[in-house]
Amino acid sequence: MPDQGNRALVILGAGVMGTAIAVTAAGHGLPVVLVETDEDARKRAQGRMTQHFRHARLLGALPADREPAEVVVSAVPDAAAGAAVVIEAVTEQFDTKARALAQVAGLVSAGTRLVTNTSSIPVDELASTLPQPQDLVGVHFMNPTYLIDQVELVRGPHSSEAAVADVTALLRRMGRRPVVVRDSPGFVTSRLLHPMINDAVRLVDQGVATAEEVDTLMQGCLGHRTGPLRTADLIGLDNLADSLTVLFERFGDERCRPADLLLRKVRTGHLGRKTGQGFYDYKEALS
């Protein structure tokens, strides 16, 4: 990877994923500029990062032998100019991601590596909107980023070998273990996991079992670490619905049509852990 010198890693979006990625990078000694244009999200960012750092330290997920690097929160996208790598971590919607990437592509020089943090949108579709499509690769960080060190690194049809190598090196500096996969809607993990979660939501909606019962059976009988519905709450029910919509539109598989109960929860603002309510209640944990 080219020497970054004092150039910070730039992350676009200060939501749950953006702040978690920032904490992961800073905790491994990489200075970060976190760009967020929404004022309310900027105000919440520091509290989120403090919570992430506390959780990560409690579980020994960050190196104990180094002080975290600085994270600067900026309202100005121009802060991306001069970055060696820019990670886009905005909402899981094509138009929103494409706008964010196109804006930053106009600020950075050719050869600056661009990363889209997506769970479902094909990298090639986003690359087609950029002047230097070879500089874009996909990275599907798992949530919480600082605890789950395995990541999908998605090589798009236009992604250069140099871009893949540089982003691989960055991920390893962040303590992540990348597995390179080819571009496809949903890649590997979302294409397997999200329809299964959707099926679990339908079982709850049909009254076959409660969320707790579904998760207990999946943990005890099939070895799922948390259960599909706790996982859904961690992903964010809005993000899950967006990802399923991408899969349904690309493949036409009815298992990927977002379940009615999932959509009802999204409409009522019960989005999972980040809002304090999803399939489970997290209000005490957030207080």
Establish whether 52 is a catalytic residue: no
**Distance, CA of 96 to CA of 131 (rounded, Å):** 17
> Whose CA is closest to 240, among 205, 278, 206, 207?
278
Catalytic one of 28, 52, 140, 158: 140
Is 190:120 a contact under the CB 8 Å cutoff?
Answer: yes
Answer whether 90's CB lies under 8 Å from 12's CB: yes
What are phi and psi for residue 74, nearest 5 degrees?
-125, 145
Q: Both ends of the chain: CA-CA distance in Å? A: 42
3-30 residues labelled b (16+ CB within 10 A) or e (exposed): eeeeebbbbbbbbbbbbbbbbbbbbbeb
Convert 141-168 to b/e letters by CB count within 10 Å (16 or more is b). bbbbbbebeebbbbbbebbbeebbebbb
Tokens 């929860």 label which residue? 265
The pair of three-digit structure tokens given for residue 127, joined into one six-digit string: 């690359």
Residue 135 and residue 113 in contact, taking contact as beta carbons nearer than 8 Å: yes
Beta strands 136-140 and 150-155 are antiparallel
Q: Which two tokens stand for residue 164?
A: 């893949």
> Quick one: residue 177, left, alpha or beta (phi over 0 = left, psi -120 to 50 = alpha)?
beta
Catalytic residues: 140
